């Protein structure tokens, strides 16, 4: 196994804001020697390893990198456990798993980022976390420290930028809008990102998958913005109903068979449209969209562990149940029944028999579920 000592020295030195010159001074060598170690040209003398271990507060084994494969497997195991927990909405378990990983690997930035994410999720008011307000205050400082540590020391750009964006949102969400805005402003422009610039360096066999991924990213961005227009009510009701229809048209354009989509946004958007119809005095249209939302919620709860969606533009897209991340451990049918349908939008139709039947179906009464699915 090739020793990773040069890479480790560079990572540890940067984490601790030690220059090559300073490290060379502490070790009694030239800074050119340190540069050669980090470039992999040569290795440091063995007698220097304990000294460097003391400077960086790590073991000699860690410096040598001989435990890299074992560490990678352990980290992957922690990440798999974390994903299982977050897909079930068990945020307490996410925090415990991430803390255990960070305790074992205190300088592993993937795990530090997951810990920051888990603490952030614990303060989400949209989930079913009873102590979300308390968590938001309790973890504020820790989230900030983790975000700043990752921002200042993480050598992986993807992890660093993700943490900066989350830290910016965290500041805004806690009333520190100026700090959040400054962090957002520090992020790179989309115009000059890798995805927009790398086309001319691609090999021929890379061009089709790259283009399809670009279309998928553009679709996700556009769909997300249409979703935001509706969910945040940024336009008048009638215009928002048109936005909902355009969102559906977009899905029909992108996917060969939109009926294969089992995403959370499908029932949510239909339920939002139902509320808009109810608000504007069209109960029949509202109930029709509620049934559409109920079918989508049932399909989401009963989705398989893995499914494929075909698309000429995107290729075959594989989605997994475990990839869904949530702070709400309830089935979506229950969320729709107890949260979405409790909105004041539906006050004008709440006493109608069809409205009550949809709630009963969402409560698990199979006959109503069968009725709604057979309506297709």
332-368 per-position pLDDT tens digit = 999 999 999 999 999 999 999 999 999 998 987 555 4
pLDDT value for 58 = 84
* β-sheet bridge partners, residue 308: 318
pLDDT value for 371 = 52
Query: Cα–Cα distances in Å, from 111 out to 17, 75, 103, 167, 183?
Result: 21, 8, 10, 16, 22
> Has residue 244 been placed in a domain?
yes
> Has residue 25 been placed in a domain?
yes
Same domain, residue pair 152 and 13: no
Same domain, residue pair 152 and 279: no
pLDDT in tens, the chain (376 residues): 456 788 889 989 998 899 999 999 999 999 899 999 998 888 899 899 999 989 988 888 778 876 666 788 899 999 999 999 999 999 999 999 999 999 999 989 999 999 999 999 999 999 999 999 999 999 999 999 999 999 999 999 999 999 999 999 999 999 999 999 999 999 998 888 888 889 999 999 999 999 999 999 999 999 999 999 999 999 999 999 999 999 999 999 999 887 777 889 999 999 999 999 999 999 999 999 999 999 999 999 999 999 888 899 999 888 999 999 999 999 999 999 999 999 999 999 999 999 999 999 898 755 545 554 454 4
> Has residue 241 been placed in a domain?
yes
The CATH number linked to 9 is 1.10.260.40
Question: Residue 124, exposed/middle/buried by CB under 10 A (0-12, 13-18, 19+)?
Answer: middle
> Has residue 74 been placed in a domain?
no
Distance CA(82)–CA(75), nearest Å, equals: 10
Same domain, residue pair 115 and 237: no
> Has residue 53 been placed in a domain?
yes
Same domain, residue pair 181 and 200: no
Distance CA(22)–CA(28), nearest Å, equals: 10
Distance CA(80)–CA(68), nearest Å, equals: 18
Same domain, residue pair 178 and 207: no
pLDDT value for 66 = 62
Same domain, residue pair 285 and 359: yes
pLDDT value for 264 = 92
In our burial notation (b when 16+ CB lie closer than 10 A, e otherwise), range 277-295 reads bbbbebbebbbbbbbbbbb
Distance CA(164)–CA(187), nearest Å, equals: 8
Structure tokens at 270: 């239909």
Same domain, residue pair 236 and 369: yes
In our burial notation (b when 16+ CB lie closer than 10 A, e otherwise), range 301-315 reads bebeeeeebebeebb
Same domain, residue pair 157 and 235: no
pLDDT value for 152 = 95
Residues 6+ apart with CB under 8 A from 48: 27, 29
Q: Which of 140, 169, 187 is the last residue of a domain?
A: 187
> Has residue 80 been placed in a domain?
no
Query: Which structural domain range is residue 132 located in?
Result: 90-95+106-187
Q: Is-contact 136 174, C-beta < 8 A?
A: yes
What is the SS3 assignment for the chain? CCCCHHHHHHHHHHHCCCCHHHHHHHHCCCHHHHHHHHHCCCCCCHHHHHHHHHHHCCCHHHHHCCCHHHHHHHHHHHHHHHHHHHHCCCHHHHHHHHHHHHHHCCCCHHHHHHHHHHHHHCCCCCCCCCCHHHHHHHCHHHHHHHHHHHHHHCCCHHHHHHHHHHHHHHHHHCCCHHHHHHHHHHCCCHHHCHHHHCHHHCCHHHHHHHHHHHHHHHHHHHHHHHHHHHHCCCCCHHHHHHHHHHHHHHHHHHCCCHHHCCCCHHHHHHHHHHHHHHHCCCHHHHHHHHHHHHHHHHHHHCCCCEEEECCCCCCCEEEEHHHCCCCCCCCHHHHHHHCHHHCHHHHHCCCCHHHHHHHHHHCCCHHHHHHHHHCC
> Has residue 81 been placed in a domain?
no
> Has residue 75 been placed in a domain?
no
Number of domains in the chain: 3
Distance CA(97)–CA(90), nearest Å, equals: 11
CA 283 to chain centre: 36
Same domain, residue pair 211 and 302: yes
Same domain, residue pair 143 and 237: no
pLDDT value for 239 = 97
pLDDT value for 376 = 42
């Amino acid at each position: 196994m090739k020793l990773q000592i040069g890479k480790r020295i560079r990572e540890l030195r940067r984490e601790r804001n030690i220059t090559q010159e300073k490290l060379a001074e502490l070790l009694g060598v030239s800074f050119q020697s340190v540069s050669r170690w980090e470039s992999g040209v040569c290795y440091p003398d063995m007698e220097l390893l304990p000294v460097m271990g003391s400077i960086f507060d790590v073991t000699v084994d860690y410096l040598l990198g001989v435990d890299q494969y074992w560490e990678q497997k352990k980290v992957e195991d922690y990440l798999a456990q974390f994903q299982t927990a977050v897909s079930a909405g068990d945020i307490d378990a996410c925090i415990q798993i991430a803390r255990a990983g960070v305790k074992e690997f205190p300088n592993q930035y993937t795990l530090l980022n997951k810990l920051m994410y888990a603490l952030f999720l614990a303060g989400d008011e949209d989930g079913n976390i009873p102590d979300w307000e308390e968590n938001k205050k309790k973890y504020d400082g820790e989230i900030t420290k983790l975000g700043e540590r990752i921002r200042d020391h993480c050598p992986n750009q993807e992890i660093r930028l993700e943490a900066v964006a989350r830290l910016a949102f965290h500041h805004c969400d806690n009333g520190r809008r100026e700090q959040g805005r400054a962090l957002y402003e520090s992020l790179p422009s989309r115009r000059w990102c890798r995805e927009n610039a790398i086309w001319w360096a691609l090999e021929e066999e890379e061009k089709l998958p790259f283009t399809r991924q670009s279309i998928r990213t553009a679709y996700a961005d556009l769909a997300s913005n249409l979703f935001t227009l509706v969910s945040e009510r940024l336009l008048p009701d009638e215009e928002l109903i048109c936005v909902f229809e355009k969102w559906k048209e977009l899905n029909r354009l992108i996917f060969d068979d939109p009926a294969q989509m089992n995403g959370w946004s499908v029932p949510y958007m239909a339920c939002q449209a139902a509320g808009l119809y109810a608000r504007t005095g069209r109960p029949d249209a509202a109930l029709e969209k509620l049934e559409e939302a109920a079918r989508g919620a049932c399909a989401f709860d009963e989705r398989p562990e893995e499914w494929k969606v075909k698309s000429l533009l995107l290729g075959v897209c594989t989605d997994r149940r475990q990839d869904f991340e949530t702070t709400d451990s309830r089935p979506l049918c229950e969320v729709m029944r107890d949260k979405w349908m409790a909105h004041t939008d539906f006050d004008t139709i709440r006493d109608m028999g069809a409205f009550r039947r949809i709630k009963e179906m969402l409560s698990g009464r199979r006959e109503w579920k069968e009725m709604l699915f057979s309506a297709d």
